[in-house]
Structure 1
Amino acid sequence: MSESPRDGVQSWEESMSARERIRSVAETLREPRSVNWISNQADTAWSTTDDELQDLVDQGRLRRVETDNTTLYQPDYTRMLFEEIRTLIEENSREELRSELAAITDKIEGWQETYGVETWEELEQSLADGDLSGAEIRERRDIIAFWQENEEDRRLIKHALALYSDVESAREQHTDLTEGATS
């Protein structure tokens, strides 16, 4: 018996419900998209997609954008930002965040020194240098992607550290109120 290349690999239709697929597509959009587009990407019925998108709007996870008689949907990027910051604070101690910030800074400083540039944009401009081999170009492209990811992580960690005390204070206040209500 011959084996299918897909044996042992579940498709996302098998591993996720239709609504989970819709959420996965909708919450990772980089630009506003229509129900039809999201339905096609999620491989779901239009009516199921429309219902789930309405639920996500009602929950505040998506925003509806009206343009030229077309309704488009996009994630609530502000909410996503605050959720990421909240997760960083809840899952890491202040010292762990500081250590990660230092590690990221060390990486970026290493790239700056190695390539003689200050920003990933300058490194990107160096790709046009006619003296680079294909391997060197691929290496620099990879470094640019890592650099961009590290800068985004650094930005989020800085926000988390700036808000850490406020979140701790709010959490303590909530705990005090909860304990007071149950006494």
Structure 2
Amino acid sequence: MPDHNKPSMTRGERVRAAARTLRTPRTAQWIADETEVSVKTAQKYLEQLAEDNVLREIEQGEQTLYGIDQLMATYREVAALQREHDREELTTALESMRTKTTDWKVSYDVETPGELRASIADLDDSDEMAQRREIASEWEHLEDRLPVIRAALNEYDWATKRDTISA
């Protein structure tokens, strides 16, 4: 759906912004339609983003789809965590996340967010259902974050040493 605020952004900025928020791989035509640019313009910027490892090109039959390069996005996220937080802050965050998930396991007598979601079927109280749904979503989010924070901690010394080396 066209956004009438887009003219303040250049064509390239619109394509890059749309590409960075892709949830599923899309064609250059789809991006062009979303950003109100030509397919040729969309392809130009999408190919640049693929060269920069922001996007991956996925061949699907006759079409090329563009999707977020999750591996590179994770590497960038690990690097950002290492640069923005010291080891103690990352350790505290990891500890807090583990405590939350452990507390939920005990409180709800479940082992996974999926089991917590399934337990909603046994409830009549809509407030309790909503609370469990919200906790399950947060739990799933934490499960996604834990490996990233772990990776930032595991490679903290290696990364910070390389980050300070001058050329």
Per the normalisation by structure 1, the TM-score is 0.81
Change (3 A) 1:41 1:139: farther
Instruction: Map Cα deviations across residues 98-147 of structure 1 (whole Å, 9 max, x no partner).
Output: 01111111211222222121211110111222x33222222111111111
Segments of 5+ residues of structure 1 without an aligned counterpart are: 1-9, 179-183
Which deviates more from structure 2 when the two are superposed, residues 63-72 or residues 87-96?
A: 63-72
Measure the CA separation in 1 of the matches of 2:129 and 2:44. Answer: 46
Moved beyond 6 Å, runs of 4+: none
Shift of 1:75: 1.7
User: 5 Å matches for 1:57-76?
Assistant: 57-76=50-69
Question: Could you say what secondary structure the match of 1:132 adopts?
Answer: coil
Aligned to 1:52: 45
Which deviates more from structure 2 when the two are superposed, residues 83-92 or residues 151-160?
A: 151-160
Per the normalisation by structure 2, the TM-score is 0.88
Segments of 5+ residues of structure 2 without an aligned counterpart are: none
> Please, which of 22, 27, 33 is the counterpart of residue 34 of structure 1?
27
Question: Could you say what secondary structure the match of 1:72 adopts?
Answer: strand
**C-alpha root-mean-square deviation of aligned residues, in Å?**
1.9
Query: How many positions carry a matched residue from both structures?
Result: 165
Shift of 1:12: 4.6
Aligned to 1:7: none
Aligned to 2:141: 149
Shift of 1:25: 2.1
> Please, which of 89, 96, 102 is the counterpart of residue 95 of structure 2?
102
> Please, which of 160, 163, 166 is the counterpart of residue 168 of structure 1?
160
Shift of 1:96: 0.5
Which deviates more from structure 2 when the two are superposed, residues 114-123 or residues 81-90?
A: 114-123
Shift of 1:15: 5.2
Shift of 1:24: 2.2
Aligned to 1:3: none
In our comparison, the structure showing a higher alpha carbon Rg is 1
Aligned to 2:15: 22
Measure the CA separation in 1 of the matches of 2:35 and 2:109. Answer: 44
Change (3 A) 1:162 1:12: farther
* Percent identity for Structure 1 against Structure 2: 32
Instruction: Map Cα deviations across residues 61-81 of structure 1 (whole Å, 9 max, x no partner).
Output: 212111211111112111111
